[in-house]
Structure 1
Amino acid sequence: MSESQKQSIRADVWLWAARFFKTRSLCRQAIEGGKVELNGAHCKPSKGVQVGDTLRITRANERYEIAVTALSDKRGPAAVAQTLYAESEGSVKAREAAREMARLSRPVAPDTRPDKQARRELRRFKHGGEE
């Protein structure tokens, strides 16, 4: 069946082809686990996805809100997969804000002990320039 003749495609197949998940099994698990909403409602892996549908996908700490722009049942390169959907502007901003918050909330202290030069700088700082 050619691309133009397809009216809908299974949700798990489309998510796999659009490269949101690595395997169809992971797609199925995410859908059954309530991590994917189709047009504002939970869906099953076999539910048909059509052009114009909206999907909300939760993956790890990221939330995507996308509109389906094309259908494909074949997994291709990432550049081709990105043409299958359009992410909403609000979704992009929310993910950027969440990524920035995660970056800022990381611990500041290094995981390793200071080396000789760093110890000397710490001593200078604590004792006001004296060594």
Structure 2
Amino acid sequence: MASDEGTVRVDVWIWSARLTKTRSAAASAARAGHVRVNGDRAKPAQAVRPGDEIRLRYAGRERIVIVSRLLRKRVGAPVAAEAYVDKSPPPPPREAVAEVPRRDRGTGRPTKRDRRELERLREGRAGQPPGTL
């Protein structure tokens, strides 16, 4: 399962190290330009060696890891955590992430008045009376 010699495809390693949920998600991220190996954009089949730095933008977060061990197959989380050194910035606190306003379940479609209030909130005219531009 784990090996210290040779190379592994970058999409396989990212999936094996549990940085993405599926190998196809890792390959899609690489094709979209969200994976960099040692500062260069990586294609899914690019080879990875121990000591390489991988930058991955996935699920709204940037991960920066240094490969310490090659993995060819998906392993458990404790073993996967030993395969890299994580240099990623901490995730943003939950308060910093903007909340999307949600309607209560079962209240139906917004009325015309509700839609106009939502439009005013989005445009930054929340304090103005209706009918004013």
After TM superposition, the score normalised by the length of structure 2 is 0.68
Residue correspondences, number: 105
Percent identity of paired positions between Structure 1 and Structure 2: 34
The question of whether the paired residues in 1 share the 8 Å contact of 2:35 and 2:54 is answered with yes
Runs of 4+ in 1 over 3 A off after TM superposition: 97-100, 109-112
1:56-85 CA distance string (max 9 Å, x none): 100121111111111010111111111111
- CA distance in 2: counterparts of 1:40 and 1:32, whole angstroms: 15
Q: Which residue of 2 aligns with 1:58?
A: 57
SS at match of 1:81: helix
The question of whether the paired residues in 1 share the 8 Å contact of 2:2 and 2:69 is answered with no
- CA distance in 1: counterparts of 2:7 and 2:20, whole angstroms: 19
Q: Which residue of 2 aligns with 1:92?
A: 89
Tell whether 2:1 aligns with 1:8.
no
Task: Provide structure 1 residue ranges, at least 5 long, that are not aligned to the other structure.
Answer: 113-131
Q: Which amino acid aligns with 2:82?
A: T
Which is richer in helix?
A: 1
Q: Which residue of 2 aligns with 1:101?
A: 96
RMSD: 2.4
Q: Which amino acid aligns with 1:92?
A: P
Tell whether 2:43 aligns with 1:44.
yes
The question of whether the paired residues in 1 share the 8 Å contact of 2:2 and 2:72 is answered with no
After TM superposition, the score normalised by the length of structure 1 is 0.69
1:106: Cα distance to partner? Answer: 2.8
Tell whether 2:98 aligns with 1:68.
no
Task: Provide structure 2 residue ranges, at least 5 long, that are not aligned to the other structure.
Answer: 105-133
- CA distance in 1: counterparts of 2:10 and 2:82, whole angstroms: 17
Distance 1:21 1:39, change over 3 A: same
